[in-house]
Structure 1
Amino acid sequence: MEYRRLGRSDIKVSVICLGTMTWGEQNTETEGHQQMDLALDRGVNFWDTAEMYSVPPRQETYGATETIIGTWLKSRGKRDRIVLASKIAGPDKRLTYLRDGKLPYDAKNIAAAVDASLKRLQTDYIDLYQLHWTERTTNGAARLGYEHLADETFTPFAETLLALQDQIKAGKIRMIGLSNESAWGTMRWLSESERLGLPRMMSIQNAYSLLNRSFEVGLAEVAIREDCGLLAYSPLGMGILSGKYIGGAAPATARLNRFQQFLRYRGSIAATATEKYVAIARRHGLDPAQMALAYVNSRPFLTANIIGATTLPQLEANIASIDIKLSPEVLNEIDAVNKEHTYPCP
């Protein structure tokens, strides 16, 4: 396993990060525990979760994933070996059941969310606490277009940073990070931290894969120059890049069919691009999924690649992508497809 520094902190995280959002929906508690055992055995010390998991979000499974992680931590006693990341949910019309549906990133909500997560996780602290998405309308969540709403309001960044600082001083969280954020937003968070001497954002968790390289437009430079590296989610495009769905072969139980918010990976252009990426892998004797993950692993702006799996063999293979180094020939062929299908998942 390889390890990289989390932002400007002294924390070292595995390049492969264990994604957990299926636990409590597609995976049972026992299966979640098995995945954690395997990941830790393979050197994966970085796990990512969120208060709203499992996915898709609904009241019946709210907090289920954190609860599963909590029972593992209690039974295994290995908290000191794990860098644990979680997220606070922001404003969302679907989440009427969470804190009365009022979810600004203010001190009251942050304190309540942190305490609830700590209780479910059965731990005294969270290593990396992230804002799951922006309060304002932006294009950080894998969209190229930006729609400006002139009358939109959101919690001032300084107010949110002060609230997060309180949680750090209380010893409940160690570091903070962003998710689904834009280049403008990331720079504003960083500048406010510097201006006021407040905690600094250490990472940004956005979608990134062969099917969605929008992060490279603006945010890649920010990540490198500001030491605010990418935590890449959906690196396989909800499994599309494994090649197993080519020709429409997606069972009803597949995440692709169960999670309607990820329909962008099902379009005809995405299918065409996927076929070409899979063909590259097979020409060079590579597993398509491992090639796609290895590409993400190799990016200079990446801190960690968040992989998710519903079975242990899938997890084993995904973790093994860390040992694959793509040749210049493969990288050139990948870039050729990207030039032809630059943004196949609008």
Structure 2
Amino acid sequence: MNSPGTSKKRSSQLGISDLQVSKVCLGTMTFGEQNSEAEAHNQLDYALERGVNFIDTAEMYPVMPRAETQGRTERYIGSWLKKTGKRSDIILATKVAGPSRGMGWIRKGENDLNAANIRAALETSLQRLQTDYIDLYQLHWPSRNAPIFGQKQFDPTLERPCTTIAETLAVLTELVNEGKIRHIGVSNETSWGVSEFIKQAERQNTSRIIAIQNAYSLVNRGFEQGLDETCFRENVGLLAYSPLAFGRLTNKYADDAHAAGRLNLFPATWSPRYMRPEVAVACQRYATLARAHGMSPATMALAWCHSRWFIASTIIGATNLAQLKENIDAFDVELLSSVNLCVSVPLC
């Protein structure tokens, strides 16, 4: 059952910053792999027309990451900004890759979150995006050993040399002072990581993180295991990525085993968290529930994310305008209390 959400807030203040971001953020990692430059521009035009002012990208995009395409996503956004002159109309977020030995084409595979790497990454992102500043610059994943990308538990045997959070904050603060970055954030972080970033910022009087970009969906609710309280008390906004669980929650792979999408295009390379049998079963049950209440599975999954009190903005992605329209429209759906979304599934 659903009804129009006529009183929903369309934007939110991001952490302690002055940024007012739309509750829907356009994710762009398909630009340059699954989407052409013209298609990317059409998506950006449409999102802006629908009130989306928040665009998220990364230096390593598009996905799947390849040497031949790396940086293409930012270039497509940059050519759109040059063509439209809309830079002042959007809040632009991008990310610097953490240690990436599997991606030797990014700074020869020696990437880390130290001064040399962050400065090199930012300068090339600014060039590709054809802008002189980034509104939100994010650390794509930690330098240190941490349980991320579907790893459920911390494993101390995986410890490795890393750049300290204090060192990373020092260079980010320099870049803020230089006017190249307005605000900073983290991604794929833990409760300890968020707390340490806050502690070190207070100790060194450096820039403070305002946002965390982590996976969150009906079948991936790990954020609720302590990070929700940490971010509430420290005023760090959640930017929820993969709200459709790489398309699983649309049920398209159950409806058509050969459906176009990342899990079929790149079956051997995606994280196993979305390939687990129990996740597929839970998604099918959610799809049945959505359809029983007159909604598409995607609409229900996104409307549920929009309803969560701790989400500052939900990052959506699409490969065509029809998908993008459905995803943005989902914000206008208000789930009523009679819709029980308690489907048992292990955290993925």
TM range (shorter): over 0.9
Shift of 1:264: 2.3
Given that 1:193 and 1:200 are in contact with CA atoms closer than 8 Å, whether structure 2 keeps it comes out as yes
Counterpart of 1:220 (choices 199, 215, 228) is 228
Once residues 230 and 41 of structure 2 are traced to their aligned partners in structure 1, the CA distance between those partners, rounded to angstroms, is 36
Given that 2:101 and 2:110 are in contact with CA atoms closer than 8 Å, whether structure 1 keeps it comes out as no
Given that 1:16 and 1:306 are in contact with CA atoms closer than 8 Å, whether structure 2 keeps it comes out as yes
Once residues 102 and 346 of structure 2 are traced to their aligned partners in structure 1, the CA distance between those partners, rounded to angstroms, is 31
Counterpart of 1:267 (choices 252, 276, 286) is 276
Q: Secondary structure at the match of 2:207?
A: coil
Q: How does 1:192-207 map to 2 (within 5 A)?
A: 192-207=200-215
Given that 2:95 and 2:140 are in contact with CA atoms closer than 8 Å, whether structure 1 keeps it comes out as yes
Given that 2:98 and 2:143 are in contact with CA atoms closer than 8 Å, whether structure 1 keeps it comes out as yes
Pair 1:298 & 2:307 matched: yes
Amino acid at match of 1:153: P
Shift of 1:11: 0.6
Pair 1:82 & 2:90 matched: yes
Pair 1:4 & 2:12 matched: yes
Given that 1:90 and 1:131 are in contact with CA atoms closer than 8 Å, whether structure 2 keeps it comes out as yes
Once residues 140 and 193 of structure 1 are traced to their aligned partners in structure 2, the CA distance between those partners, rounded to angstroms, is 23
Shift of 1:140: 3.6
- Counterpart for residue 234 of structure 1: 242
Q: How does 1:1-346 map to 2 (within 5 A)?
A: 2-149=10-157, 151-246=159-254, 249-251=257-259, 253-259=260-266, 260-330=269-339, 333-335=340-342, 337=343, 340-343=344-347, 345=348
Shift of 1:150: 7.0
Which has the bigger relative contact order, CA under 8 A and spacing at least 6? 2
Once residues 275 and 98 of structure 2 are traced to their aligned partners in structure 1, the CA distance between those partners, rounded to angstroms, is 27
Once residues 327 and 105 of structure 2 are traced to their aligned partners in structure 1, the CA distance between those partners, rounded to angstroms, is 35
Cα deviation digits, residues 167-206 of structure 1 (max 9, x gap)? 1111111000000111111110111111111101111111
Q: TM-score, normalised by structure 1?
A: 0.95
Once residues 128 and 101 of structure 1 are traced to their aligned partners in structure 2, the CA distance between those partners, rounded to angstroms, is 24
Given that 1:142 and 1:212 are in contact with CA atoms closer than 8 Å, whether structure 2 keeps it comes out as no
Given that 1:137 and 1:149 are in contact with CA atoms closer than 8 Å, whether structure 2 keeps it comes out as no
Rate the CA distance shift 1:250–1:220 in 2: closer, same or farther, 3 A: farther
Report % sequence identity. Answer: 49
Q: TM-score, normalised by structure 2?
A: 0.94
Moved more, 11-20 or 223-232: 223-232
Q: Secondary structure at the match of 1:59?
A: coil
Gaps of at least 5 residues in structure 2 are 1-8
Once residues 98 and 342 of structure 1 are traced to their aligned partners in structure 2, the CA distance between those partners, rounded to angstroms, is 34
Give the superposed CA RMSD. 1.3
Structure 1 runs of 4+ with >6 Å offset: none
Given that 2:217 and 2:301 are in contact with CA atoms closer than 8 Å, whether structure 1 keeps it comes out as yes
